[in-house]
Structures are given as structure tokens and as C-alpha cells.
Amino acid sequence: MRSALHLLLVAIILFGGAWPVTKAALANASPMWFALGRAGLAAIVTAILLALLGRLHLPRRRDWPSVLSLGALQLGLFFVLAHAAVAMVQAGRTAIISAVVTYWLIPLSVLVLGEKVPLYRWAAAGLGLAGVAVLAGPWAVDWTDLNQLLGHLMLVLAALFWTLAIITTRRFPPQSSIFELLPWCFGLATLLILPFALVLEPDGGIHGPSWPYMLYIGLIVAPIGTWCVIEVGRRLPGAVASVAFLLVPAFGVTVSTLWLHEPMGWDMLTGGTLIVASVVLAARE
């Protein structure tokens, strides 16, 4: 479990800070084209790295469930929904809701994988969700605004796709390492995102000031962060992983507050405390 926790720490830092960076980038880029660039750059850099290491190969037969689920669900559809939503809602709120796999992962781990979840981990999940509810501050959202409503629904659906990918990789473990499958996963995601970009944003693109953000997200956050998140989801029990992932939005809210000057009040402090407490409780042996 210790190695998985180290990977979790890297994922928290990279993905927690990714949404504020993306929000800043969208001032000079359209969401679908930014998502396309993110996936495409990650596919290229991981393929080059594996080729240099002599480990680049086609997916094997047992690899395909993971390639299809990770490429289409966790990367492709997740990127489409989350990048569209970040243009509608605050970056901190995007980081919170898109990373909340708790309300999907625990029940699906029980129903599909047959995991037995101790009572204290159910309590930890409830504590974490309470923290998320406080962080998200639904009372501060104008739910009559169609963009706000649609953006939040897309984020919840994005979290479901992420969860389904985790369940698939655990139910059908790949023969190759996840690292060796990343170029194919990101390549599939790129092909999936492309028609959304062409149809929804025919005049869109990524313009000058956004390229430093694009390079950071595409070359560092996407390949390294995604690998860490996938491995954490595979190595930790569903209840522990789902609660631990809540640290990602907590960090994202902090970055959004400090960098984008999104407001921080009692809700941020209380929600963050509840999430940290839930992770400590869930990680008990």
C-alpha cells in the first residue's frame, strides 16, 4: 500500500493543480481543442519514451479491455466532459466534482468486484462526501442557470466514466504494464475527442498565451498523473482509493484560491478538514 500512497501524492499534486491551469489556459483556447492537444501530446511523449526504452509494442489480447476502457472512458469522454464543464463553472468546483468517484466506486466495487467494505470505510466515505458537499457549496450555485446545471451534471457523469475504467482494469487486469499501454490509451482518446472538437468548435484552437499551459498539461500532467491515478485505482481497495482521490479536489481548490483568487471561506476550510479526516480513517488497516 505504501507505494500506492506515494503515487497518490504525485497524482494529487499534478491533477489537483491541473484544473486551475486549464482554467487559465481557456482564456486563449477552446475546451475541446485543449482536451485534444492534451491527449495528443501525451500519446506522442509516452510513445517516444517507450520507444527509447525498447518497450513500445502493440497491446496484447488481455490488454484490450484496459486500453478501451481507459482510452475511451477515463481519458476520452472524461476529457470531453470535464474540459467543457470547466468553461462553465469555477476551476475549483471542477476539480472537486470531477474527482469524486466515491459515490460510484464503492458501490460498484461491492456489486461488480465483490469487495467487502468494513463499516468504518463506509463511514469514511460518508465523511468525505460531506466534505465534498461543503467544498462544492451547492447553496452558492444558481441552479436556474442552465450552464451551471449542465456543467455540474457533466462533471458527475465524467466521474462515472472514470470509475467504470477503474472497475474494468481491476476486473480484467492487463497483461502489459499500464505504462506500456499509455500511448494506445491516449491515442484512442485523441481519436475520440477529435470529432467533438471539429463539430462543436470549428473555429476553435489553442492560441499563443495558452501554449505554455498546454505543454505543461500534455507533456507532464497527463502522462505522469494519469499513470499514477490508474495505478492507485488498481492497487488500493475501492473504498480506500475512492476516498483518497478526494485529496485531489482539496488540493485543486487550494491552488485555485491562491492563483485564480477564487474565494476561500469557512466552507473551504471545513470541507478540506473533513476530507483529510476521511482519508485518515479509510487508510486504517
16-72 pLDDT, tens digit per residue, is 777 778 878 888 999 899 999 999 999 999 999 999 999 999 999 999 999 999 999
In this prediction, residue 166 carries a pLDDT of 86
How many residues would you count in the chain?
285
Predicted TM-score (pTM) of the model is 0.80
Q: How confident is the model at residue 110 (pLDDT cuts 50, 70, 90)?
A: confident
Q: Are 50 and 56 in contact (CB under 8 A)?
A: yes
C-alpha separations of 126 from 23, 201, 251 in Å: 29, 39, 19
Look-up: residue for cell 466534482?
97
In this prediction, residue 150 carries a pLDDT of 84
- Residue 206 pairs with which residues in a beta bridge? 29
Q: What is the DSSP letter of 210?
A: G
In this prediction, residue 231 carries a pLDDT of 83
Residue 102 in this model has a pLDDT that exceeds 70: no
Residue 238 in this model has a pLDDT that exceeds 70: no
Q: How confident is the model at residue 268 (pLDDT cuts 50, 70, 90)?
A: low
Cβ contacts of residue 233 below 8 Å, gap of 6+? 165, 166, 169, 170, 241
149 vs 205, higher pLDDT: 205
Look-up: residue for cell 456489486?
111
255 vs 185, higher pLDDT: 185
In this prediction, residue 136 carries a pLDDT of 67
Q: Are 231 and 25 in contact (CB under 8 A)?
A: no
Phi, psi of 54 (to 5 degrees): 70, 25
Q: What angle do CA 27, 28, 31 make, to 5 degrees?
A: 80
Phi, psi of 30 (to 5 degrees): -95, 145
Q: How confident is the model at residue 175 (pLDDT cuts 50, 70, 90)?
A: very high
